[in-house]
Amino acid sequence: MTTRWTLTFDCDDAAAMARFWTLALGYVEQPPPEGWDTWEEWLTHFDVPEEEWGDGVSLQDPTGLLPAISFLKVPEGKTAKNRLHLDLQVSGGRHVDQDKREARIEETVAALVEAGGTVSFRAIQAGSLDHVVMSDPEGNEFCVV
């Protein structure tokens, strides 16, 4: 039997992180639980203090196939390199023409830089771009492959 799982990022600004990763992954914000028209109604019903309403955001794959991702505000900042990271697999794989692979990678990198991401380095193998290591707006590393 498998266990259902999600991925959670600790962060300072959950809304900003959700906007970035919505673009990066093509995810959408998770709708409120069944029986509630808005998150505000749900939060009010469960007496969550209004100053905590922006402390978390959850995103989901619009097809419902991939795991959900959440962003949770925490008081401490990031202090070390991630031991786990996401690979955004945009190139199509090694069987795709190298020029096309590189164009797909660079197009995604440019959009994510515009959204607040930063490039750490471009990994070159056998003279060609293999992947780009980036960080999201709060410094979490990921790769565009």
- Name the pTM for this structure: 0.88
Q: Does residue 137 have a pLDDT over 90?
A: yes
Edge-to-edge strand order for the sheet containing 141-144?
86-88, 141-144, 128-135, 118-125
Radius of gyration of the chain (CA): 17
Each residue's pLDDT tens digit, 18-65: 999 999 999 999 999 999 999 999 999 999 999 999 999 999 999 999
pLDDT score of 53: 92
- 7-73 belongs to which CATH class? alpha beta
Domain ranges of the chain: 7-73, 86-144
Locate the DSSP E strands across 74-140. Answer: 86-88, 118-125, 128-135
